[in-house]
A and B are shown apart, each in its own frame.
Chain A
Amino acid sequence: MTPNPYLWLVGHLWLVPLLPLAGAAINGFFGRQWSKKAISTVALVFCGAAFVMALGLAAGFSSAAAPYYCDLAHWIRSGSFQVDFSFYLDQLSLVMLLVVTGVGFLIHIYSVGYMWEDDGYYRFMSYMNLFMFFMLTLVLAKNYLVMFIGWEGVGLASYLLIGYWFTKDSAAAAGKKAFIVNRIGDFGFLIALFLMIKHFGSLDFTRVFAAVQTLPTETAGVGLLTAIGLLLMVGAAGKSAQIPLYVWLPDAMEGPTPVSALIHAATMVTAGVYMVARSSAIFERAPMAMMVVAIIGTLTALFAATIGIAQTDIKKVLAYSTVSQLGYMFMACGVGAFSAGIFHLMTHAFFKGLLFLAAGSVIHGIGGEQDMRKMGGLRQYMPWTFLTMTIATFAIAGFPPFAGFFSKDEILWKAYSSEYGSWVFWLIGIITAFITSFYMFRLWFLTFFRDYRGGNANDGADQSANAHAAHDHSDHGHGHGPHESPWVMLGPLVVLAFLSLVGGWIGIGGRFEHFLAPVFQSGGVAELAHETAGEAAGTGTETLLMLISVGAAFLGLFLAWTLYFRRPQLPARIAASLGGLYQAVAHKYYIDELYNVLFVKPLIDGSTAILWHGVDQNVIDATVNNSASAARHVSDNVRHMQSGNLRSYAGWVAAGGAVVIAYMIWMGVWVR
């Protein structure tokens, strides 16, 4: 590629986010009157154009010339502090860009088929494009404030899309929950930004990281960088559903399945990981913050995986799986293996996106049912869905040569060998890998094997957790039982399955890590130390650990095969014998109820008592009402002046005149 067209592309980097925005605006304002074909065309064209631009940027990308800047417009100029609308393209944002536009475009195509029957189709497509705009702003930002625009915006788009079927109470509540919990995280993010402004005087990446280089590594106690790191982690925990702010993600399954695939698997929830990776320079100088990140990630991974074992709703299993896999990514970042975390982010986008889309295909095919206990034996009805979902399941479980194996193994190796890591992280990671494999294959067996337990698609299938049955798919007249989905939905599945297969090969030989190295090299010392520590531990240990992780995956597959294929009565007996423990896990450890008691209810009660009754009613309303009644009382009394009696008027005039004369004499008007 000759330099000139590429420079034009880079100079118009701002087009990449703005094209989907245009699509969202057009569909939002005009889509109501248009045909579904027109709406789909607009949405796909603008999203696809962004993807094509991303491909062009990737094709001509040169690591030597990176990073590229694109300054769009001035924004804030306040004394010495300035923030502009600027975009930034380096290796990290290029990877994120390709993932977001690629997977996003595929999911857009899928949604054309999935949401076709829905009445608010134009609204859905508009929101999806809007989400793409915000997410692209987030990954392409050159300073923290533009990133924050994207950060908030994806939260907004998530709220809109989770509560897409807003007439359903549970969907509306889930949307609110997602937004509110996100906001708690955003609060931490904001405080971190304020600290940056105060101490570094800028929010621009290059200037902040350059300023950070001049500060010493904080090995003892909590300093400025640790504080910033921890606060950034709070924001990331909110956005990427880590402990303690993960509670919104399972509820977010109320939204349509493409939404779950795009936002809550492939892109939005990875924004936290991206942000932490982007801020690697800060974290590498704050070891305590890194430790916190690693601990949170590891604990979340294990915790969510255990909950996933007992879920019966297919989307909830995948939701907890997402939380768990995000934990892996944070564990990677926490031990200093930022490129491994990003690698897993990429492969996770492929196979988790595929899992959700395939689950959507399953749900679509059996008329809206989401409870796995009513599935089974779908292998013969939906062969393509079965094939692609199988590939994804093997990928997430970490079987070679699929994508998940390479990325997860990289993380586990770095957790063991990095100078920030320890064998504890590795052990918990292995256990989690085993549990992951177990519940994914449980899902696989329950859905596709043995006999179909669902009966007819139209016989009043369980309406509990989804609006599908009420909405669109039962209207097709699918009285003939489960069926395969149309090719508009299967196409993206196949593409993602292919990527889940080969997507990991880019990491062989450390090629991916070397590609991303310049981004994390800004830390200077730390990343090199990882490599030396890794090499010191020797390739022998690495191979051994790799074999153990593959063994854990096989163990999970074997256990699932035993419990759900060979002896299907066994799980119920085990659950009964475990009694309370099983109930706790099935009810998500009652965390939601705990939060309700600790935070939600006191907040609502306090708000009602103090803010509503106390302030709003007794102060604000009272002020207004009392001033009105005071005016009325005053006028009631003053009214008596208007008696209609001539002499009283004269009396008032005379009295007033006396007052004026007295005042004038007192002021010395007539004294000369």
Chain B
Amino acid sequence: MVPLSYYLVLSGILFVCGVLGFLIKRNIITIFMSIELMLNGVNLSFVAFAAHWHALSGQVFVFFVMVVAAAEAAVGLAIIIAVYRTRETLNVDQVNLLKL
């Protein structure tokens, strides 16, 4: 019997790792992967709560999250390709035209 909080702590760890990856890594594709990691952590907490409260809506919501993640990954990678074409770099620090 695993307490609910353990699942939630695991979910939290995954989420924190995702944010850390976003902050630390320089390659834009790796940053995207960190975003996916964050979403996964959240998915785990959804499913855990669904199991705890016996509400199937939690799992349905995970379904939707996955759909959105898929769409986002597709468009995001397309953007990365477009940026790579113009900037010839995958280093996010060099894509800073919005600098004031």
Contact = CB atoms under 8 A, between A and B. Distances in A.
B23 A644 contact: no
Contacts of B95: 644, 646
B100 interface: yes
Q: Is the interface of A mostly helix, strand, loop or mixed?
A: helix
B100 A650 contact: no
B70 interface: no
11 contacts: A642-B98, A643-B99, A644-B97, A644-B98, A645-B92, A645-B93, A645-B96, A645-B99, A646-B95, A650-B19, A650-B22
B26 to A, nearest CB: 8
B97 A650 contact: no
A672 interface: no
Contact of B23 (A640, A643, A650): A650
A651 interface: yes
Contacts of B99: 642-645
A611 interface: no
B87 to A, nearest CB: 13
A645 to B, nearest CB: 5
Nearest to B98: A644
Contacts of A647: 22-23, 26, 92-93
A654 interface: yes
Contacts of A37: none
Contacts of A651: 23
List of 7 A-B pairs having minimum Cβ-Cβ separation, nearest first: A644-B99, A644-B96, A644-B98, A642-B100, A646-B92, A650-B22, A639-B100
Interface residues of A, number: 11
Contacts of A650: 19, 22-23
Contacts, number: 33
Interface in B1-55: 19, 22-23, 26, 31
A639, A643, A647, A651 pick with most chain B CB within 10 angstroms = A647
Interface string B79-100: 0000000000000110111111
A642 B96 CA distance: 10
Contacts of A639: 100
Given A647-B23, A650-B22, 11 more contacts: A640-B100, A642-B98, A642-B100, A643-B100, A645-B92, A645-B93, A645-B96, A646-B31, A646-B95, A647-B92, A650-B19
A639 B23 CA distance: 20
Contacts of B22: 647, 650
Contacts of A643: 96, 99-100
Contacts of A640: 100
Contacts of A642: 98-100
Contacts of B97: 644
B33 to A, nearest CB: 14
Interface in A594-645: 639-640, 642-645
Contacts of A644: 95-100
Nearest to B34: A650
Contacts of B98: 642, 644
Interface string A551-570: 00000000000000000000
A651 B21 CA distance: 11
Contacts of B31: 646
A654 B100 CA distance: 22
A650 B20 CA distance: 10
A655 to B, nearest CB: 10
A654 B19 contact: yes
Nearest to A653: B19
A645 B26 CA distance: 11
Contacts of A646: 31, 92, 95-96
Contacts of A645: 92-93, 96, 99
A650 B19 CA distance: 8
Contacts of B23: 647, 650-651, 654
A650 B100 CA distance: 17
B29 to A, nearest CB: 13
A640 B19 CA distance: 22
Nearest to A639: B100
A654 B26 CA distance: 17
A644 B93 CA distance: 8
Nearest to B22: A650
A371 B26 CA distance: 96
A661 to B, nearest CB: 11
B26, B31, B93 pick with most chain A CB within 10 angstroms = B93
A643 B31 CA distance: 18
Nearest to A645: B96
A139 B84 CA distance: 92
A137 B64 CA distance: 85
A645 B100 CA distance: 10
B61 to A, nearest CB: 21
Contacts of B26: 647
A236 B1 CA distance: 103
A640 B31 CA distance: 23
Interface string A79-111: 000000000000000000000000000000000
A436 to B, nearest CB: 84
Interface string B48-78: 0000000000000000000000000000000
A647 B100 CA distance: 16
A14 B74 CA distance: 87
A547 to B, nearest CB: 100
B70 to A, nearest CB: 22
Contacts of B93: 645, 647
Interface in A650-669: 650-651, 654
B15 to A, nearest CB: 11
A656 to B, nearest CB: 12
Nearest to B99: A644
B19 to A, nearest CB: 6
A640 B93 CA distance: 15
A640 B96 CA distance: 13
A198 B98 CA distance: 69
Nearest to B96: A644
A642, A646, A654 pick with most chain B CB within 10 angstroms = A646
Nearest to B25: A647
B91 to A, nearest CB: 11
Interface in A37-73: none
A173 B82 CA distance: 77
B47 to A, nearest CB: 21
A642 B92 CA distance: 15
A241 B95 CA distance: 82
Interface in A221-280: none
A647 B26 CA distance: 8
A473 B15 CA distance: 98
A651 B93 CA distance: 14
Contacts of B96: 643-646
B26, B92, B100 pick with most chain A CB within 10 angstroms = B100
Nearest to B26: A647
A644 B92 CA distance: 10
